[in-house]
Amino acid sequence: MESSLSVSDSTAELDGRSKALRRVIVEMMEKCGRGHVGAGFSLVEILRVLYDDVLKFDPARPKWSERDRCILSKGHGCLALWVMLAEKGYFPQEELFKFCKTGALLGGHPEITVPGVEASTGALGHGLPIGVGMALNARIEGSDYRTFVVVGDGECNEGSIWEAALCAAKHKLSNLTVLVDYNKHQSYGLVSEVCPLEPFAPKWEAFGCAVREVDGHDVEALRSTLAALPFDPQKPSVIVCHTHKGRGTSLTHNNMKWHHKTKLSAEEVVALYAELEAE
């Protein structure tokens, strides 16, 4: 049984806000010269909805005990995370344009030295086990904060992801939600060619999770799906978000050359900005 949505189903039109967020990512690339553009672009709507509509947080108190925890386990997608955290006030906007420079606050993967970052990630497969621990801690402490972990599809090749899923199901962690950025690509090829995941949603179900699938670029669909949490009061929730790597411009769309990009030509910058003009 294949997933009920396919890559071609992720066709939602990008609104002005989604384009504007991607424009900031392009500006970071233009000024800083490197970054994982494909992963950042595919994550924008997922992170946008989480930070705009779902998460409980206070940028003035990054370690507030009652905050919801959000872990970007696919740490190489951090361009999108940096844009969201800056917008919400965790650090000044000008930090975005020092990205990966010597002595800068922001590096190429999330680190807990950055306000708003819950776990240092980048070595794939680590974020979900950490999230399971946080969700268990909330239960032990009697706290009502929730934990959200964003993982990549290529990352789901890691055995630690499935060990964590088994543990979360065993402990009935309904306060834990996993969002999979299912863009069907990983660093050196299609997921279906490198290490196929299908049947993907049924895998999570077999590991004891309550699962829903959604177009990961459809803001309203993401909002309504996240509003229904938990999907089962006795199980962790998993949202398989069908996305496109590099979604947002024809230059980057499903183009593996943009998995990690070093330096943009003047022509590329002009083309990217032109396609991302906010309405």
Note the pLDDT tens digit of each residue in 237-250. Answer: 999 999 999 999 99
What pLDDT is stored for residue 34 in this prediction? 85
Adjacent-strand bridge partners of 181:
152, 241
Q: Which of 14, 123, 2, 7 is nearest to 73 (CA)?
A: 123
Residue predicted with more confidence, 4 or 71: 71
What is the average pLDDT across 217-227?
98
Nearest-angstrom CA–CA distance, 207 and 176: 14
Of the chain, the percentage scoring pLDDT greater than 70 comes to 95
Predicted local confidence at residue 229, as pLDDT: 98
Would you state the pLDDT for residue 11? 67
What domains sit in the chain, N to C, each tagged with a CATH number? 13-57+66-275 (3.40.50.970)
pLDDT of residue 9: 55
User: What is the rounded CA–CA span in Å between residue 113 and residue 122?
Assistant: 14
Question: Do residues 245 and 259 make contact, with C-beta atoms less than 8 angstroms apart?
Answer: yes
Q: Does residue 214 surpass a pLDDT of 50? A: yes
List pLDDT tens digits, range 178-195: 999 999 998 888 999 999
Question: Is 255:261 a contact under the CB 8 Å cutoff?
Answer: no
Is-above-0.75 flag for pTM?
A: yes
Per-residue model confidence (pLDDT) at position 5: 54
Query: Measured between alpha carbons, how far is 214 from 266 in angstroms, rounded to an integer?
Result: 36
Q: What is the CA radius of gyration of the chain?
A: 18
State the pLDDT confidence band at 259, using cuts at 50, 70 and 90: confident
pLDDT in tens, 123-177: 999 999 999 999 999 999 999 999 999 999 999 999 999 999 999 999 999 999 9
DSSP for 12-46 reads: PPP-HHHHHHHHHHHHHHHHH-EE-HHHHHHHHHH
**Residue 1 pLDDT > 70:** no
pLDDT at 4: 52
pLDDT digits (tens, 9 = 90+) for 40-97: 999 999 999 999 999 999 999 999 999 999 999 999 999 999 999 999 999 999 999 9
- What's the pLDDT score for residue 222? 98
Q: Can you tell me the mean pLDDT for 112-132?
A: 97
**Separation of alpha carbons 142 and 135, rounded Å:** 11
Measured CA to CA, the distance from residue 187 to residue 39 in angstroms comes to 10
